[in-house]
Structure 1
Amino acid sequence: MSKRSSSRVASSAAKRTKEEEEKRLKFDLSWNYVGDGSPAALIFLDGPSAAANAKKVAAFDLDSTVIKTASGKKFPTSTSDWQFFDDCVPTKLRSLHKQDTRIVIFTNQSEIEKKKVTVNDLCQKFESIINELDIPVQLFMSTGYNQYRKPSTAMWDYFVSHCCPNVSIDVSNSFFVGDAAGRPKNWKPGVSKDFSASDRMFAANIGLQYYTPEEFFLGESKVTDFEWRRPQPSTFMQKHSETMKDFQRQTQEMVLLIGRPASGKSTFSRRHLQPHGYINISRDTLTTQSKCLQAVDEALKNGKSVVVDNTNPSQSARSEYIKIAKKSKIPVRCLVFTTGRELSDHLNYYRMYQTEGKERRIPDVAFRVYEKYYKEPELTEGITKIEHVNFIPQFDSKRDEDLFKKWAM
């Protein structure tokens, strides 16, 4: 982790007006970068605040919540294409600030990772917004599809642990406002459905009271017609509560794991096979099919049982391994993971949060490729036995269990 000053945006200072620069100095705005990648995974704006010791937090999403496009288009045409969501926004936020409430913005900005906008331009835009509000505001932005992206609580967790060192935040009296509420089409006459429920999930993950911008700023009635659009994570615990049976064998064998990405194959191998002497062979570590085949051949010749820990969706993907086993007169057992797409999606993001970004999410294209080529394994392929493995959650720590039970995407 690295923390750097605002030198990245210093070059744009010349473009600011004298008044803007005076306000910048007034609030002592300081940009901080977390993560050594390019771009940094998290960028946040910190500075002195009259509510620095406040226990109550008024948290907001940014786009379509605090601001909207001035052009009326769905997405901004430039970094200057913005206006406040409503004329009352500055007044409301200033009033909260006077009530000893800390104002914090949490925003997903994946356009940075996609290289559709620069960090410098966004930082200058956000400074302009805060200068217009004329109150100190802390702002946190995730820069892509990383561990900080809402509904992950990582931005909030970083805010609490690094920006509130001597304060115990009163979550029960704090709240979050955001537009991604899972509302259906025509939740208001002629209005499109929300693109997701990620803001509602973010608030639920933390335990914050949640409002849409229409409810909070405009005083509209609370919308009760919404959909999470994802299964509740707790249902994955309820549906898969049976006891894991023993899968290891005493005699030498080859085990072919078959399952979509993020279906739990590697964790299963680590927990249930490798402790019994099985050698795990995976393209994730060896990178190529030829290296995997060579490693399998060598392990079998040395009398070891092997686990081929790849997705292995098609007969052609499995056949080369089966040929090696047949040549060595070693039985082949296929373990087919029954993990469905929704649970795999959840596990995909959960793993990224669990490892704090060391393992990035698997892109959607990998799931589509698996589904395109998948063919149920058959004994006629040269397989000795086919077994099915249901996902049963097991956790190494209370932290991991708590993460699993949160909305992940």
Structure 2
Amino acid sequence: MLLSPPDVGPLEESYLLRALRSGWVAPIGPDIDAFEQEIAERVGTRHAVALSSGTAGLHLAMVALGIQRGDAVVVPTLTFVATANAVTYTGAEPVFVDCLPDTGNLDPELLDRTLRKLSASGRRVAAVLPVDMFGSCADYDRILPICAAAGVPVIEDAAEALGASHEGRPAGSFGRAGVLSFNGNKIITTSGGGMLVSDDDILVERCRYLATQARQPVPHYEHTETGYNYRLSNLLAAVGRAQLRRLDAMMARRRAHRSRYAEVFGATAGVRILGSGDQAANCWLTSIVVDPEVSGWRSADLAAHLAAAGIETRPVWKPMHLQPVFADADAVLNGVAERLFATGLTLPSGSGMSTEQADRVCAEIDDFLHDGPRHDAKAGFPRARPSHVGGTADGRATSL
């Protein structure tokens, strides 16, 4: 049983066949236009640009904002690598900031401290890229004023959060631009794809232009600058339109799975669900956090038990400051991301998971809780490194 496989069926098939039979198979056509309009309406922005991936959207937003080599861009350390990779595409340098323990989202206090230190050091901070972790929006009530006071634009990485909201405002609508992902495991999918959403007319037109190889509006192929092949195809947009019609129902299924897990672990000391207090989350993935000294077992023990039953799980994202590719990057840390990585486990959460499949997962978890491996807490468990601020993964001082 997979973690979050694509949930597609007859509706998607009908939309795709209709688009195929219309002859619009290139990265242009009526389904692209309609999909962009429908996403913009759902997110509450004036514009949307359909793209080949969420990563492409992050890259384009940064290029359109003039981010360039040597700039600093603040990125949560707890995220998928695409967020940080997109920064490096521009030649800028990611500065990683740690997270809050309850949601795994960017810590506003550390963000404020980081922006002040970077400004005092004379470095140009070109953007902040908050990530809406596992479908729970970051604390924009605190983040946006901090960034505004520092004069730094926000690009919201809402790749995991379509359908979620914060204080009644939809994910993707915060900052100068928001970016969604329609990868195969996301809340909705176009097989592969993404969307940039924004109210900024100039930024959107710039991104749309760059996404089509920066072609000049003349009859022949004329290019005055480097562009990118980043547009989504009309066929995939058709799949996305069908998925969007089912979004609320698919979110309801994922929320039901999270509620089941909450019941299963409800009487288990030392286990909590990451982001469980956010009622406006889309519940894209459900992750538990295990305190082994209280529970008597580790998240890895449960993962091994479920794997033996053919059930896929995954650790929470490995922090970017621990990734070899970013070993030399600056980081402002409090130890939370490392602890979540060491103690977190993501459980099957897909909207296509049937009631019978969910029953089987929960039954296996019950079996583990009653009969699974136990460890003497006094023998010790792996711990994250002690909290530290302004250091690299091994505790060395950074340039901050």
TM-score bucket of the superposed structures, by smaller chain: under 0.3
Q: Which has the larger radius of gyration?
A: 1
So what's the TM-score if we normalise by structure 2?
0.25
